[in-house]
Structure 1
């Protein structure tokens, strides 16, 4: 019987893995082979979705807008120009730079404008427009090192930081030998690492380097002097979107003809870059209180909804795993072991990008689904442990009194099990609140996302981090106290 059960579990797990691979690899190929109606689809729905990573001033960054936040930048102005020429509205979707091409391939966005350069590797997955702006490569370093580092040749033996997935990362990796290269997703993190002397230099697009150096005293930029490393910014489109790409190229031709990017788009973006040099960090953080309040709202929405569905899933799969039905048991084991054996960040990205190829699920909903599913697996094991802690004599006594197995579980076992596992459930809720920060990778505006927004707009690295640390502590400490109070109430009620 045990061998049969193990065999069935193995078959079920293999089927689950096969389903994941079929979803991940067959759907994009179907999309690529479809006929090109990309421009027609944009005009039919009346808007075009632009994906970007808003930590790249003056190209794209997050600024204040009527108490809230909004993405500004020269690339945003270009996106508006393209949308205007197409006769549609522009919608901007923010996410991490290394997630942009995945979002494009899964059609979460219609185009990516993010100071992106074409590379042979990227060209295999997406199509690129004409160049709309060219810029050089500079190095950002601490002013104290300007005599030690004059060009890229002086970087040998040093620690260099670069944004993961950027052409600067590839340029340094291929062009400079004997260096310790550290990749980070966010440029603000790189600047923070540079100022704290964790790294010696950062290769950046010249315009971006100038923006960060201007707002960070103690930093300096120099010409990298690397041959053939001029940045050629282009727009990315999903494979086969020829009609949409051609329409965008017409706008780019007009922009290049009159040099609108440099003369109009960059100055328009510069008006929204915050100047907070005359203010204390406390005053600056207070001005962004609405950002943090919005982050708290999203964090609590994700946490409350996810813990609700997580407990429901936990109860269902705990009972399934304890079931004597081999099929139900096998499904529960596969679910629990697979979810617990894969990183939650990967699960969030798969729900949003992977399943998004079949059903277009919004970022917030995707985050809630992924976190609920993840929480359900852990809660299931907590509940199973609680049920197993109840002696068999309890169930036997209930059956002898005429209760059914279902009634025994509902009225006798589960209430006692929940009393035993209440502290563990409280810990799971606290963990879930902190894990909600992972949803920022797909652009959900929770606390971590808002912290990044404040960093990008103020050029302050540590202060926004300190603020959300305090906020997270206040939330989790308050919930811990509430759970402790309820635990005392439950224990007192049981003793009575």
Structure 2
């Protein structure tokens, strides 16, 4: 009997091992099968890095173009699927990959050992050095990365350039920013002495901006810091193999040079007319999305805010606890984290589009602040008002709706108006997940025109027009309420 039991245990162990091995194999092959099954290849990129990826106005529409995009098109064509491009900040790309928002990342990314711990990479498909951009007036001062002792240099957050600057330019301080366009602006305004950039990117800027000069970085580069590769989620072996097959053909046929030439033609188109009027459609689209997000955020903010205010004022301990917990938690965490949590965190279980995720996060955030405004308004109404209404036979619910809330709204209208105005400005945070609001379009125009300050001035004026117009509208309704009283 004991021998039989041992044989059974051994048999079960072998069966479990085989099943586990098969599951791992299936999982490894699942990445390619999923892409082919859904018929789309979703790539993530940060289109502010010419000539790799950047935006142009093509046939009246904003389109992401560049060498990386051409590589992605080739892979999608070989797989027989449609290419879908998701735009977001560079430092959000790996998170998007790990949470399944994208199938692969093409963003001039170097396959460093640190990154390999969390994602897989394809073979490298392009190699370029690491250089430093400086102002033309300072070209004679700096020779390489060793010349920046006691100087501040700009780097893109989460990039290889940031790692190189911190490890090989220890006598220099670093300024890390999300967008390359912001780094170039910091350089032009002398906030930094130089910007560490990948060679092709540095050349793209110096070719289109006479005030900038590219100097050799002379960094000590290891095998994992030279070259550009495609990023994949861990255990995506089949998809990596399929991409490598396409990359091998690209290398064999010398298509990279052709892709760079195509990118160069788009860059030339962008610089033919760099006036802000030429890009009015970009700003208009940004205003439309900003107003949409603000309006929906305000509507649901008031709706949910009223509910949570009543929960906080409830005599029921559980309802009160729910109201207080929600308000304090949301007000105690940054909106940026909330936006990223809704998009990436909840996105693990439900595929939420970037715009919807932004709307949800902004609405939930606004609700917490509106709840406190409404709560303070309700508390400002004398208790005698409630007692008088109840003595006339009104229920607690009728008293709140017919007596307390109308007076409270009048009292809190200025504070509520300030929240609506703040919402227009704070909604700009959704640009970090690729929602094309006004701030996002500002960056697009900066990238396309190689101009830093002018797009900022246009966006500033547009924000002022929106907030000033809303302020006047709110004042109009406030006067009407005071007149009615």
TM-score bracket, normalised by the shorter chain, equals: over 0.9
Tell me, yes or no, if structure 1 residue 202 matches structure 2 residue 195.
Answer: yes
Please list every run of at least 4 consecutive aligned residues from structure 1 whose deviation after the TM superposition is greater than 6 angstroms.
30-33
1:270 matched residue in structure 2: 264
Tell me, yes or no, if structure 1 residue 110 matches structure 2 residue 103.
Answer: yes
Q: Please state how far the C-alpha of 1:35 moved relative to its aligned partner.
A: 5.2
Tell me, yes or no, if structure 1 residue 232 matches structure 2 residue 200.
Answer: no
Q: Give the Cα–Cα distance (whole angstroms) in 1 for the partners of residues 152 and 429 of structure 2.
A: 28
Per-residue CA deviations over 1:103-141 (Å, capped at 9, x if unaligned) read 000111100000001122211111000001000111100
Matches within 5 A, 1:257-336: 257-262=252-257, 264-275=258-269, 284-336=275-327
* Secondary structure at the counterpart of residue 268 of structure 1: helix
Q: Give the counterpart of 1:89 among 76, 82, 85.
A: 82
Q: Give the Cα–Cα distance (whole angstroms) in 2 for the partners of residues 326 and 217 of structure 1.
A: 67
- Does the 8 Å contact 2:130/2:199 carry over to 1? yes
- Does the 8 Å contact 1:138/1:205 carry over to 2? yes
- Does the 8 Å contact 1:63/1:274 carry over to 2? no
Q: Give the counterpart of 2:417 among 426, 435, 438.
A: 426
- Does the 8 Å contact 2:54/2:65 carry over to 1? yes
Matches within 5 A, 1:144-155: 144-155=137-148
The answer for unaligned runs of 5 or more in structure 1 is 1-29
Q: Please state how far the C-alpha of 1:177 moved relative to its aligned partner.
A: 2.0
Q: Give the counterpart of 2:237 among 242, 245, 250.
A: 242
2:13 matched residue in structure 1: none
- Structure 1 33/338 Cα, relative in aligned 2: closer, same or farther at 3 Å? farther
The answer for unaligned runs of 5 or more in structure 2 is 1-22
Q: Please state how far the C-alpha of 1:180 moved relative to its aligned partner.
A: 1.1
Q: Give the Cα–Cα distance (whole angstroms) in 2 for the partners of residues 270 and 301 of structure 1.
A: 35
Q: Please state how far the C-alpha of 1:87 moved relative to its aligned partner.
A: 0.4
- Does the 8 Å contact 2:51/2:66 carry over to 1? yes
* Secondary structure at the counterpart of residue 372 of structure 2: helix
Per-residue CA deviations over 1:71-122 (Å, capped at 9, x if unaligned) read 0000000000000000001011110000000000011110000000112221
Q: Please state how far the C-alpha of 1:268 moved relative to its aligned partner.
A: 1.2
Q: Please state how far the C-alpha of 1:31 moved relative to its aligned partner.
A: 12
Return the index of the structure with the highest Cα Rg. 2
Q: Give the Cα–Cα distance (whole angstroms) in 1 for the partners of residues 139 and 423 of structure 2.
A: 45
CA RMSD of aligned residues (A): 1.6
Q: Please state how far the C-alpha of 1:56 moved relative to its aligned partner.
A: 0.5
Q: Give the Cα–Cα distance (whole angstroms) in 1 for the partners of residues 130 and 193 of structure 2.
A: 16
Tell me, yes or no, if structure 1 residue 213 matches structure 2 residue 206.
Answer: yes
* Secondary structure at the counterpart of residue 103 of structure 1: helix
1:408 matched residue in structure 2: 399
* Secondary structure at the counterpart of residue 51 of structure 1: strand
Q: Give the Cα–Cα distance (whole angstroms) in 1 for the partners of residues 118 and 29 of structure 2.
A: 16
Matches within 5 A, 1:388-467: 388-467=379-458
Per-residue CA deviations over 1:261-309 (Å, capped at 9, x if unaligned) read 12x1111111211456675x6xx11111111111111111111111100
- Does the 8 Å contact 1:157/1:178 carry over to 2? yes
Q: Give the Cα–Cα distance (whole angstroms) in 2 for the partners of residues 32 and 411 of structure 1.
A: 65
* Secondary structure at the counterpart of residue 227 of structure 2: strand
- Does the 8 Å contact 2:271/2:449 carry over to 1? no
* Secondary structure at the counterpart of residue 324 of structure 1: coil
Q: Please state how far the C-alpha of 1:231 moved relative to its aligned partner.
A: 3.0
* Count of residue pairs brought into register by the alignment: 461
Q: Give the Cα–Cα distance (whole angstroms) in 1 for the partners of residues 444 and 376 of structure 2.
A: 42
- Does the 8 Å contact 1:275/1:458 carry over to 2? no
Q: Please state how far the C-alpha of 1:68 moved relative to its aligned partner.
A: 2.6
- Please, what TM-score do these two structures have when normalized by structure 2? 0.93
Q: Which moved more, 1:100-109 or 1:145-154?
A: 145-154
- Does the 8 Å contact 1:216/1:459 carry over to 2? yes
2:164 matched residue in structure 1: 171
Q: Give the counterpart of 1:345 among 336, 353, 359.
A: 336
